[in-house]
Amino acid sequence: MTRRGIIFNIKRYAIHDGPGIRTTVFLKGCPLDCWWCHNPEGRNTDPECFGQDTGRDCLIGREVSVEAVFHEVCRDSVFYDQSGGGVTFSGGEPMMQIGFLEDVLTACRREGMHTALDTCGYAPTEDFARIAGLVDLFLYDIKLMDSDLHRKYTGVPNHLILENLHYLSGNGNRILARLPLIPEVTDTDENIAAVAEFMAQNKALREISLLPFNTLGRDKFRRFHLPDRMGTPRELSPERIERLTESFHQRGIAVGTGG
Amino acid sequence: MNERIRKLREQSLSAKPSISLERARLLTSFYADGQADGTSTPVARAMALSHILSHKEICINDGELIVGERGPSPKATPTYPEICIHSEEDFTILNSREKITFNVGEADRQVQRDEFIPFWTGRSMREKIFASMSDVWIAAYRAGVFTEFQEQRAPGHTVLDDKIYHKGFLDFQDEIKRSLERLDPATGSEAQAKKEQLTAMHIAADALIHYAERHAGRLDQLAVTEVNLDRRAELEAMAANCRRVPAHAPKSFWQALQYYWFVHLGVITELNTWDSFNPGRLDQHLYPFYRREIAEGTLTDQRARELLQSFWIKFNNQPAPPKVGVTAQESNTYTDFCLINLGGVKPSGENAANELTYMILDVIEEMRLLQPSSMVQISKKSPDRLLHHALKIIKTGYGQPSLFNTDAIIPEMLRQGKDLIDARNGGASGCVETGAFGKESYILTGYFNLTKVLEITLHNGVDPQTGKQIGIATGDPSEFTYFDELFAAFRLQLKHFIDIKIDGNRIIERLWAKHLPAPFLSLLIDDCIANGRDYNDGGARYNTSYIQGVGLGSVTDCLTAIKYHVFEQRTFDMNELLAALDSDFAGYETMQKQLRHQTPKYGNDDDYADDIMRRVFESYFLLIDGRPNTKGGHFRINLLPTTCHVYFGRVIGAMPDGRPAGEPLSEGISPVQGADRRGPTAVLKSAAKIDHLRTGGTLLNQKFTPQMLESDENLKKLGHLIRAYFTMDGHHIQFNVVSAETLRQAQERPDDYRDLIVRVAGYSDYFVDLGVDLQNEIIRRTEQGVG
Ligand code: SF4
């Protein structure tokens, strides 16, 4: 195990990234460019300096070995055992560092640790084939069913993403779909209906998490002096979330929020 | 809650705490009239209690179901001049200070000045103690190296087991008789001393029986004039209760509660025991009565609940007796640390939670009173439902109940040599202290300021706050080449002060045994009757003296910073560091920042810092644990601060963890405020590196914002977090569920937040009643993560 990767955070007691108490490792680099990105500091593959940050250490991202990450996630084993938790890899897009990811997953698996992968799905299918057997749960983002809109808001079309979803679900992997509710972008009636319909046709996709938009990303745009393309989106009312939830329920799909 | 309870609760909440001189007056007249002349000390003490209970005013509040107040009315709080005498100035301060006030009437102030102060001066325990202490003790005490609990409160700290639910006081008197018969006259003076002690216990038992009869008499009178027939029937039943208990074993749920309450009043009238007495495993004690009466149809759930609520209000009506002199600042609270235990295991080792456990939890949630405090013991056998139920109440932000690990409490007691069954029947009381209920006298003797000892070490035995040499010369730290030299010096200094503390305690134990025995309390704790010995003189089956270490997080971070920056990284040398400390970091702001932000800290699951914590713990443990006290028992350690970390911080200058002069220290075993940056699992991992099983209790405070606990799912995860901590032998954990924002608002607009209760240390308190230092500290305590 000599491979090294670049991560920008390790968060312990992560309770929104899969079952139980988890540690979430954030890998740097992402092929997408979502307007609402809540981790803009994780998009570039390399460590980078966000200079004007509050005078603290400005460098975001550090190079680490597989062993170091593995050692760090093992620290909370007692909490995973107790809660049915484990480790989650997130980002950025962890698939960007496929070799490193594969090695860390292998190490975790060897210890019997529950593993989850939070992915946007935009990576070569063969890469997914490499790690599919090492991941207990995919947290898989579905953003927009209309490929043109997908391209507009994330920078890439959605064909590969949906293809990979088919691939993984067809091979018996456990998948929890996640849909970020971006006001007037992903939360439109048409998009929600399309996502629900898409899922209804795939028997392996029985569960979706609706992630209400939060302003964390906007706060970071300001701090890191990045362009804010979102403006001030309207609030998502509880009634509306209720209605969206209903669209999924009608098609027999379970809905969670925030997790 | 029904109308009756609502009214009684309202009465309790709105009653202004006041000083009542009733007890002082009766006690003074008893001694001044010469009634004690020619009798032995224990007998005189028992007669004094009898005199008080026979003459004090009987108070029966409208509509109440359980009777008896310590003073003439709710929240009228007595003084104990035989222990410590409030000066006129104390009374003025109590009457006028902003927080934790007690009304004192002008006439009372005069009587205090003209009669009680002159009579008791020269006789009080406090004076005896200070007169008996060595110069080094006095110097260390003044410098704030340690505090002494028994200088103004009696060595109480014990909790009742189930004995009163099987036996009446007449049964205790039979036991006394048998014990008297067994005395061997050949042992001469020893037999004589035991005879006096047992006679005193007999008198004390009569005193409470008679006190209950006085209540019965008053209830009879009230019944005669009562026009409401329902209430009249109640008053008659209550009178019958007071004739049944405490003389005889209780027959009903109602009588059981009334019995305990009389016993409680007896204990807190005899002396102002530190950490007021409490019934302990209440759900266990009451369960047989509950089961039987529900089956027989003589009790309904509704009635049981109402009786429990009435019982809760009685506790809230008894504020802790206010302190005198300097310590008035140290620990300011109305709370008297009655910690009701729920859950845990049965003597057989099975899960003990029952229907009543859940009912009592509901009562706690509904009553939302400051007193009594409550806790739930969680063992590996406890159902998740119990933990979840407790968390649901904790989540409402009221700071109760706290959570304890039965699977740590029991081995802690076994290690101290206690019997397994006694251990299973025990629990925790006060803040977090482990004890064998009904069988142990476990005295807290005082807080110990670990960080102050380091400050003195850094100045070669001199207290830099006064310039006085109060420690031993352990060397000029700037001449140390290795960190281990510094640690060795710290350890020597620690030993020096611990020896002083223990020598003092051994003398103080004797003073209490000789001058202020507690024959009433002795009736209740095994094996005082069988041994013919007083509770204050080693009569109990187990006798433990605790010294409570304070500031473990602070002292660890200070030592870690020195090791890291001075001896390893060589960021600066010792002289520079000391100069920075002496100037309270003025001109050394960069260094302060480095110390604060670029140094390993305890609470982050970082072995660099945590290993130093272990070393401090080991030293503290080895220097104290197992040393004999004068009661056949031993000194032990525990780690809890109550609010003393604020006072202890005030007597220390700037320190190497970057803390400016005068700021509070870390509390309990929590990390330094704001030093933990890696979330709750890291804090728990660090805290679990303490060997909890070798302590008699540790206190860990965690603050969560309400958002963290919004969904049931998150609450479950919090439950798992706690279970994991307990798997690692963690002793106790408690939660503050509030946002810093709310607290700031409360500071700005206290009137709008008078009901806001927060977890302070081993107890909850009204946020607005706390001093501003403590308020700020609670705000600062790291909020763990965001949702
Ligand atoms: S996929 Fe995630 S990390 Fe990548 S740009 Fe979108 S929101 Fe940001």
Query: Searching chain A, which residue's CA lies closest to the CA of residue B727?
Result: A78
Chain centre distance of CA B151? 15
Q: Is the pLDDT of residue A75 over 90?
A: yes
Residue B372's nearest CA partner among B400, B343, B403, B333 is B400
B198 in a structural domain = no
**B338 counts as catalytic:** no
Q: What per-residue confidence (pLDDT) applies to B784?
A: 43
Q: Write out the two tokens for B658.
A: 């970057």
Q: Is the pLDDT of residue A55 over 60?
A: no
Contact B717 A83 (CB under 8 A): yes
Q: Write out the two tokens for B293.
A: 């009466």
Q: Give me the domain span that covers residue A191.
A: 4-257
Cβ pairs bridging A and B (under 8 Å) = 52
Query: Searching chain B, which residue's CA lies closest to the CA of residue A79?
Result: B724
B363 in a structural domain = yes
Q: Write out the two tokens for B16.
A: 């202004």
Q: Write out the two tokens for B604.
A: 């982050």
- Measured CA distances, A229 to A144, B347, B642 (Å): 17, 66, 52
Is the CB of A116 within 6 Å of ligand 1?
no
Number of the ligand 1 atom closest to the C-alpha atom of A120: 1
Residue A92's nearest CA partner among A162, A15, A38 is A38
Number of domains comprising chain A: 1
Distance CA B398, CA B400 (A): 6
- Asked if residue B415 and residue B299 are part of one domain, the reply reads yes
Is the CB of A34 within 6 Å of ligand 1?
yes
For every residue of B78-146, DSSP letters joined together read: E--TTT----HHHHHHHHH-SSS--B--HHHHHHIIIIIHHHHTTTSHHHHHHHHS-HHHHHHHHHTSB
Mean residue pLDDT of chain A comes to: 90
Contact A75 B727 (CB under 8 A): no
B296 in a structural domain = yes
- Asked if residue B448 and residue B427 are part of one domain, the reply reads no
Q: What per-residue confidence (pLDDT) applies to A53?
A: 45
DSSP state of B396: I
What ipTM is given for this predicted complex? 0.89
- Asked if residue B711 and residue B738 are part of one domain, the reply reads yes
- Asked if residue B634 and residue B537 are part of one domain, the reply reads yes
Walk along chain B (787 residues) in steps of 10 and give the mean pLDDT of each run: 95 94 98 95 98 98 97 96 94 85 93 97 97 98 96 91 98 98 89 97 98 98 97 98 98 98 98 89 98 97 98 96 68 83 98 98 94 96 97 86 97 98 96 95 96 98 97 97 98 98 98 98 98 97 97 98 98 98 97 95 97 98 98 96 88 97 93 84 96 96 71 90 98 85 83 65 66 76 41
Q: Residue B431, Cβ neighbours under 10 Å: how many?
A: 26
Is the CB of A30 within 6 Å of ligand 1?
yes
B191 in a structural domain = no
Contacts of residue B289, defined as CB under 8 A and 6 or more positions apart, other chains included, come to B165, B250, B252, B253, B256, B299
Is the minimum CB–CB distance between B590 and chain A shorter than 8 Å?
Answer: no
Out of B64, B306, B433, B455, pick the active-site residue.
Answer: B433
Residue B255's nearest CA partner among B205, B293, B214 is B293
Contact B680 A13 (CB under 8 A): yes
Distance CA A109, CA A102 (A): 10
Among B692, B725, B754, the domain boundary falls at: B692
B89 in a structural domain = no
Among A12, A20, A258, beta carbon nearest to B720: A20
Contact by Cβ (8 Å): A29, A42: yes
- Asked if residue B521 and residue B416 are part of one domain, the reply reads no
Is the minimum CB–CB distance between B689 and chain A shorter than 8 Å?
Answer: no
- Asked if residue B421 and residue B498 are part of one domain, the reply reads no
**B431 counts as catalytic:** yes
Q: Residue B114, Cβ neighbours under 10 Å: how many?
A: 10
Ligand 1 centroid–CA A30 distance in Å is: 6
- Asked if residue B706 and residue B587 are part of one domain, the reply reads no
Q: Write out the two tokens for B782.
A: 């790291």
A82: chain B residues, CB-CB within 8 Å: 720-721, 723-724, 727
Is the minimum CB–CB distance between B707 and chain A shorter than 8 Å?
Answer: no
What are φ and ψ of residue B553, in 5° steps? Answer: -65, -45
Distance CA B242, CA A21 (A): 53
B680: chain A residues, CB-CB within 8 Å: 13
Distance CA A34, CA A32 (A): 6
Question: In degrees, to the nearest 5, what angle opens at C-alpha A50 toward C-alphas A48 and A51?
Answer: 120
CATH number of domain containing A34: 3.20.20.70
Which of A78, A214, A220, A255 to mutate to probe the B interface, most B CBs <10 Å? Answer: A78
Distance CA A106, CA A135 (A): 9
Q: How far apart are the first and last CA of chain B?
A: 34
Q: What per-residue confidence (pLDDT) applies to A57?
A: 55
Contact by Cβ (8 Å): B309, B327: no
Write down the H helix ranges in B152-252: 169-182, 189-225, 229-244
- Asked if residue B635 and residue B531 are part of one domain, the reply reads yes
For every residue of B559-586, DSSP letters joined together read: HHHIIIIIIIS-SS-HHHHHHHHHTTTT
Q: Write out the two tokens for B71.
A: 């003073």
Which of B720, B727, B784 to mutate to probe the A interface, most A CBs <10 Å? Answer: B720
Burial profile A94-123: b = 16 or more Cβ within 10 angstroms, e = fewer: bbbbbebbbbbbbbbbeeebbbbbbbbbbb
pTM: 0.92
A78: chain B residues, CB-CB within 8 Å: 685, 724, 727-728
Number of the ligand 1 atom closest to the C-alpha atom of A122: 1
Chain B 97-116, residues with CB within 8 Å of chain A CB atoms: none
Contacts of residue A138, defined as CB under 8 A and 6 or more positions apart, other chains included, come to A116, A117, A119, A168, A173, A174, A175, A176
Contact by Cβ (8 Å): B35, B51: yes
Is the CB of A39 within 6 Å of ligand 1?
yes
B192 in a structural domain = no
Q: What per-residue confidence (pLDDT) applies to A218?
A: 65
Ligand 1 centroid–CA A42 distance in Å is: 8
B685: chain A residues, CB-CB within 8 Å: 75-76, 78
Contact B605 A75 (CB under 8 A): yes
Distance CA B442, CA B207 (A): 26
Question: In degrees, to the nearest 5, what angle opens at C-alpha B565 toward C-alphas B561 and B569?
Answer: 140
User: What is the percent of chain A with per-residue pLDDT over 70, rounded to a whole number?
Assistant: 91
Q: Residue B409, Cβ neighbours under 10 Å: how many?
A: 29
* Burial zone of B475 (CB within 10 Å; 0-12 exposed, 13-18 middle, 19+ buried): middle
To test ligand 1's pocket by mutation, which of A25, A39, A213, A224 has the most ligand atoms within 8 angstroms of CB?
A39
Q: Strands B732-737 and A59-60, how do they pair?
A: unpaired
- B61 Ramachandran zone, left/alpha/beta (phi>0; psi -120 to 50): beta
- Asked if residue B364 and residue B340 are part of one domain, the reply reads yes
- Asked if residue B548 and residue B610 are part of one domain, the reply reads yes
Measured between CA atoms, how close is B78 to chain A, in angstroms?
49
Contact by Cβ (8 Å): B359, B307: no
Distance CA B288, CA B281 (A): 13
Among B692, B716, B749, the domain boundary falls at: B692
Is the CB of A120 within 6 Å of ligand 1?
yes
Is the CB of A93 within 6 Å of ligand 1?
yes
B96 in a structural domain = no
Q: Is the peptide bond before B527 cis (omega within 30 degrees of 0)?
A: yes
Contact A258 B785 (CB under 8 A): no
Number of domains comprising chain B: 2
Query: Searching chain B, which residue's CA lies closest to the CA of residue A214?
Result: B787
Ligand 1 centroid–CA A39 distance in Å is: 7
Contact by Cβ (8 Å): B705, B737: yes
Q: Give me the domain span that covers residue B360.
A: 159-166+274-437+700-787
Contact B724 A85 (CB under 8 A): no
Q: What per-residue confidence (pLDDT) applies to B574?
A: 98
Among B678, B723, B728, beta carbon nearest to A12: B678
- Asked if residue B360 and residue B337 are part of one domain, the reply reads yes
